[in-house]
Amino acid sequence: MIKVGVLGAKGRMGTEVCRAVEGADDMELVATVDDGDSLDVLKGADVAVDFTHPGVVMDNVRWCVEHGVHAVVGTSGFDPSRTDQVRSWLAATPGAKVLIAPNFGIGAVLMMDFAQRAAPFFESVEIVELHHPNKADAPSGTAYRTAELVAAVRAEKGVAPSPDATVSELDGARGTDVEGVRVHAVRLSGAIAHQEVLLGGHGELFSIRHDSMNRTSFMPGVLLGVREVGGLPEPLTVGLESLLGL
């Protein structure tokens, strides 16, 4: 049995994770942690799942690394500087493995993979993401990661920057720039997690969209991460792609 602890256990995602772990035949929920609780209860866990807040997640991950507890992290806010920091902790204290997934939806991971494959074939690419208004960060981790992947493959293939003749704009009208890819964040009541990658070429448009209609859609990916994190070849893995054979 895999002994699992959940950080952010009383939140919307944390509640779903607890329910999913309790329903899995090969897992045991041994600890739940929320705001103000001691992390020491995680000492009996093999894997800790973190769905907390960008402001506290780094301290949580560092504690897991220092105590040899594998971490599966779904909290947003991981830019390159943060992943580099986690990598340095893992190098200093070997033993634990960390999986940081911008999105645990299987369809969302496939959407990112498809976007990466399509990006070199189109002149223009932009990303629009829509989330519930309680989300703390913008753009989402999924959108940021998608932009990184798209930008990397376009650079590798020698694709020119997306054309844009804008010379006058209101602040934020063209979204934010992530390595040359424009990303637009919408915060909307009624939304859960949605993303569309828009690609344009000569006389055609191609869009790749993923919609999560409820939070249970992320649970197969979370459970996959819990099962596989301890056997991952690298101390730090970003994204579920390798776990799905992509």
**pLDDT, mean over the chain:** 95
The single residue of 43, 53, 132, 135 carrying the catalytic annotation is: 135
Contact in structure between 23 and 226 (CB atoms under 8 Å) = no
Residue of 5, 80, 83, 19 whose CA lies nearest to 218 = 19
pLDDT for the residue numbered 47: 98
Residue reference for tokens 């099962």: 227
For the segment 13-29, the average pLDDT, to the nearest whole number, is: 97
pLDDT for the residue numbered 246: 86
Is the CATH number 3.30.360.10 carried by domain 106-213? yes
Per-residue pLDDT of 115-135, as tens digits, reads: 999 999 999 999 999 999 999
List every span in the chain annotated with CATH 3.40.50.720: 2-100+216-244
List every span in the chain annotated with CATH 3.30.360.10: 106-213
Instruction: Report the alpha-carbon distance of residue 26 to residue 47 in Å, rounded.
Output: 13
Contact in structure between 15 and 42 (CB atoms under 8 Å) = no
pLDDT for the residue numbered 71: 98
Tell me, what amino acid is at 225?
Answer: G
Q: Is 184 a catalytic residue?
A: no
Instruction: Report the alpha-carbon distance of residue 21 to residue 226 in Å, rounded.
Output: 9
Bridge partners (DSSP) of residue 5 are 31, 48
In sequence order, the 6+-apart residues with CB closer than 8 A to the CB of 138 are: 185, 187
Contact in structure between 146 and 210 (CB atoms under 8 Å) = no
For the segment 43-47, the average pLDDT, to the nearest whole number, is: 96
The single residue of 97, 131, 194, 210 carrying the catalytic annotation is: 131
Instruction: Report the alpha-carbon distance of residue 138 to residue 144 in Å, rounded.
Output: 9
Instruction: Report the alpha-carbon distance of residue 147 to residue 137 in Å, rounded.
Output: 16
242: number of Cβ within 10 Å: 14
What string of DSSP letters covers 230-242?
Answer: GG-SSSEEESSGG
For the segment 13-25, the average pLDDT, to the nearest whole number, is: 96
Q: What is the pTM of this model?
A: 0.82
CATH architecture of 2-100+216-244: 3-Layer(aba) Sandwich (3.40)
Q: Is 132 a catalytic residue?
A: no
User: In which band, very low, low, confident or very high, does the pLDDT at 237 lie, cut at 50, 70 and 90?
Assistant: very high
